[in-house]
Chains A and B, each alone.
Chain A
């Protein structure tokens, strides 16, 4: 029996459907970057250690380098390319732009996707190691700089733009619910 080493899969990305053959070894990250030309998601370490490839999968932040593409079938995937509404930037993107929350820009898509996930997790009442009261009844802790730092620590920035990234996440949070959701339009017909 011949080994089956590739399959045709359908990925739901930024509201589009993409059908493509993938090598079973292909990570979601490589499928985005090398098959679908969605290069906004960055490869920093390919080992789940730097956060540069962070995307939102069903609204939760996920490092795309540790997920096989074939295992992402049927999930709603949002990448940095799917955040802006036409010319209008997502509140997190706008805050990064205005407050210079980056330097070289390579960790930035991951930081932005992660920040959206952080703000959603925080609003949902998830505690962090920086939270003073972690009982479920306590509700969301105050979104202090330390809370943001703790929750964003899976995203490395070697340029050291941390101070302005934290300011940007705090600024974006002022936009309320829009800051913690990725606008995902309804499914469309297959795009590829």
Chain B
């Protein structure tokens, strides 16, 4: 492992560095070293730039067979018949799996994350089709070409009935929905405070259906050996997937092993999905390892997505901008088979207080695929609406947008009443304003022109929860003086493997070159997933706990036995003992845009974010995490929108040419910085940074578009046609 200060080519990526003098005993007490806080290149970086890193669909298996999913072509109805015999006669076809021959699955359980399984994953259990793109069969063949041709040739007969996929804000068949937070919070007399307010903003914002689209499509290979099941998978948590598969197939979790060494992105979409379950079933059926990989098109209906939202925000304030009333109501959409809410109205529960404060998440069930967690679920669309409304309020009050936010900084959690374990939003805004040059900003909209471009700047605040969940880890002091860490963490591109190497090195008081981290294997014991910005915090906690105990066990000067000395940690009790506080990361986002009023083109010229997100473990990779999130914000503000056809009920342009994500030419200079964010009472001091970067980013862009043009765009994405029509169709 090398540092950024000395990025020499290193012969391997697994810390196989020469150790110098042979170390067969633990050294005398070592001076504390500090690896955390210094930039380190990724320990697996060499494997990634040479193509040696193998992802789930690339791990070789002898006698491998290939499965190809067949998805429904109707949006609602029943399967009347499947002409399996015709494709079974095609070359190389080994099996056709569907609801008539699939083994029964158990679905009445609660999984690791406290959720029940999405029936989309419990494949082939009935003839019912609840949305277009629902898995109806799996064709298994010797080669992927044979499987694909047979899958495309498989004739499925349906009994079709009329469907409803129309998502609008004026639907009456909605209900309040708890997700990972209560549906409704309410205090004070909203209407009275609005009536007493000198300034009122009442606006409706919409965000479209959005998709994760990690670059690596979902892939899994399953193999049965007697009663033991092995799955090589691309997921965000092998503990999570083992639990789901063991429950679904009624297996002893100890007989299931899931490995996931390199993962090509996840963003919330890589839990248990139809392809793993189908692969497990098929492997049992054909008695061989079976690999199932989702196509990019299949990912539009099987990988989950972010629901569209319609959000109404009402803000009432005194003339000086102090909030008297805050009302945020969000409607999102789910499938008819699974309850998932995009809790966009939750943002204000942390960000702003008011004498009357109401937040509410509602849901409508439609004949569409099931949505799921997607990077900053709730916060991403919710912060767009709330932070855009704050910008409107600042304009109406004639107050600087930053000053308005700082004037409304709450002392305690607006809903919980709990104290904040650090709330360094003010420092983020002060540092960001200084770096961005905010003090030179003319607040008037639509007055800056450079050639054909109108120029504007905008800002927004960000927050994301800093939770932790129980995890276990083991560390072995090896006889050769190295330390081996084993934890069922997932490195989905966050740099977790490198971060945990640095955390372990500091906790063990050794240089990182002496630490090897193995992750992505359920055999290492239970651990939190890479999700909810909780992974690195949760895993670091377990690694630090194991390291502390191991250091106590090692006697200076004493030899280490050939098998090493291993300790295990479990953070369940420590996390339960954590004081109840509002624990969050905070951030300030800034954007400068140029808008061409003749073509409607919006270009982001620069973005800058400053974050208070605990101790930053690896500045080199952290910068990429923050800016990557901010780039998601650019993409959300200007590009991403999945269209759904009301007639067919299916997605339109379901590929990466139809669903635009930001590419190189869309992304200008994007800078991320961070401020000190110490909490002396926190045993870890590390917060997750995977999601805070996207929060508020789209609002900063939208607020900058208003500043450039004088037109509010309350519907994302801010497409050229919307700019040309002045936002009137929003």
Contact = CB atoms under 8 A, between A and B. Distances in A.
Listed residue (B54, B265, B494, B495) with the most chain A CB atoms within 10 angstroms of its CB: B265
Given A39-B54, A89-B50, A166-B664, A104 B7 contact: no
8 contacts: A42-B264, A43-B217, A44-B216, A47-B655, A100-B42, A108-B48, A156-B215, A163-B667
Listed residue (A39, A81, A96) with the most chain B CB atoms within 10 angstroms of its CB: A39
Contact of B145 (A26, A150, A159): A26
A158 B215 contact: yes
B220 interface: no
A161 B624 contact: yes
Interface residues of B, number: 66
Interface stretch (A29-37, A131-139, A182-190): A29-37
A100 B620 contact: yes
B661 A39 contact: no
A67 interface: no
Interface string A155-183: 11111111111100000000000000000
Contacts of B669: 145, 163
Nearest to B670: A163
Given A37-B60, A52-B215, A81-B51, A106 B265 contact: yes
Given A46-B296, A103-B493, A166-B664, A25 B145 contact: yes
A58 interface: no
Contact of B624 (A42, A94, A100, A145): A100
A44 B296 contact: yes
B627 interface: yes
Nearest to A165: B664
Given A37-B60, A84-B50, A98-B4, A149 B655 contact: no
A152 interface: yes
Interface string B619-631: 0110111011111
A116 interface: no
A165 B667 CA distance: 11
**Interface SS of A by simple majority:** loop
B657 interface: yes
Which 3 A/B pairs are nearest by Cβ-Cβ distance? A40-B51, A104-B493, A106-B264
A149 B49 contact: no
Given A105-B264, A112-B49, A164 B493 contact: no
B714 interface: no
A59 interface: no
B656 A156 contact: yes
Given A149-B664, A153-B664, A89 B627 contact: no
Nearest to A169: B664
Nearest to A23: B145
Interface of B: 4, 7, 9, 11, 41-42, 44-46, 48-55, 57-58, 60, 143-146, 149, 212-217, 262-265, 267, 293, 295-296, 492-495, 620-621, 623-625, 627-632, 635, 655-657, 661-665, 667, 669-670
A52 B217 CA distance: 11
Given A100-B41, A104-B216, A161 B628 contact: yes
B63 to A, nearest CB: 14
Contacts of A88: 9
Contacts of B55: 39, 42, 106
Contact of B9 (A37, A43, A87, A105): A87
Given A97-B41, A100-B624, A162-B667, A80 B492 contact: no
Contacts of A97: 7, 41-42, 45-46, 49
A109 B620 CA distance: 20
B214 A104 contact: yes
A90 to B, nearest CB: 9
Given A25-B149, A149-B664, A158-B215, A39 B296 contact: no
Contacts of A154: 663
A62 interface: no
Listed residue (A40, A104, A153, A163) with the most chain B CB atoms within 10 angstroms of its CB: A104
Contacts of A25: 145, 149
B295 to A, nearest CB: 7
Contact of B215 (A42, A80, A130): A42
Given A26-B145, A40-B50, A42-B215, A159 B9 contact: no
